[in-house]
Amino acid sequence: MNAPLDLAALKARQQTAWASGDYAVIGTTLQIVGEQLAEACDLRAGERVLDVAAGNGNASLAAARRGASVTSSDYVEALLQRGAARADAERLQIEFRVADAEALPFADAGFDAVLSTFGVMFTPDQRRAAAELARVCRPGGRIGLANWTPEGFIGQLFKVMGRHVAPPAGAQPPSLWGQESHLRELFGDTIQDMAVTRRHFQFRYRSPAHFIEVFRTWYGPVHRAFAALAPDQALALERDLTELLAGLNRAGPDSLVVPSEYLEVVLTRR
């Protein structure tokens, strides 16, 4: 019989992974997703908006650009500092708070909109995280999410990595947040409506080798996966990632453009 999953230990390992490398290097390329989510949620000037697992603040910046009163939260302080530098450069007023998505230090119904772009989906305790998003959102407010799908490129990338570095036994895949049925199960009767749009983000790099170099250096989960492998094993992972990228590349041999499917989700709080 397998031992029960130690969620606290898993969270600690994940926090270390996201703090390694520098996710902000990758995160800034995803800014368009935050802008589209802010529009999908129809954010209004003066609304109270919380960005959960905000990373370096893509959705936070998008909300602040629309005149919202924004709190940006993440459990990696270094990423919040990168978001703060971006906000300062644009003279945007954003409050930055170190916070765990599974235990948000905010009052019930304290926000008109709660956002997360490719963030909360990585929490170990998915039900608890969903409950926290719902708790801090006011009745009639919106919960806006951007989540990679299992079938899309990032979902496939994590499956490839999982063949080389096994995920913890019993852990739920983050890409479950990219399935509408799973979201309905997670949020249950806390929501009264769900609008789902399938979108694609285009990863644009010089080549598969360039993508792997950038992600191996800066993207915490990939950085940690390579670091955990012996040289011959790392080479095997590199070969598999190259094959995945080449198979999905729509730009021909001289560049790399890989579409990655994600769900843009707007939930209305009951």
Rounded Cα distance, 123 and 11, in Å: 7
pLDDT digit string, tens, across residues 33-90: 999 999 999 999 999 999 999 999 999 999 999 999 999 999 999 999 999 999 999 9
Closest CA to 51 of 128, 177, 137, 131: 137
Structural domain containing residue 122: 7-158+165-202+260-269
Q: Is 2 part of a structural domain of the chain?
A: no
Helix (H, G, I), strand (E, B) or coil at 228: coil
Q: Is 182 part of a structural domain of the chain?
A: yes
Instruction: Write the single-letter amino acid at 137.
Output: C
CATH of the domain at 144: 3.40.50.150
Q: How many domains does the chain have?
A: 1
Q: Is 138 part of a structural domain of the chain?
A: yes
Q: Is 32 part of a structural domain of the chain?
A: yes
Q: Is 102 part of a structural domain of the chain?
A: yes
Longest alpha-carbon distance in the chain: 56
Confidence class for position 20, pLDDT limits 50, 70, 90 = confident
pLDDT digit string, tens, across residues 138-150: 999 999 999 999 9
Confidence at residue 5, expressed as pLDDT on a 0 to 100 scale: 83
The DSSP code for 28 is G
Q: Is 47 part of a structural domain of the chain?
A: yes
Rounded Cα distance, 98 and 193, in Å: 30
Which pTM was predicted?
Answer: 0.95
Closest CA to 65 of 99, 26, 96, 39: 39
The DSSP code for 20 is T
Closest CA to 264 of 213, 198, 203: 198
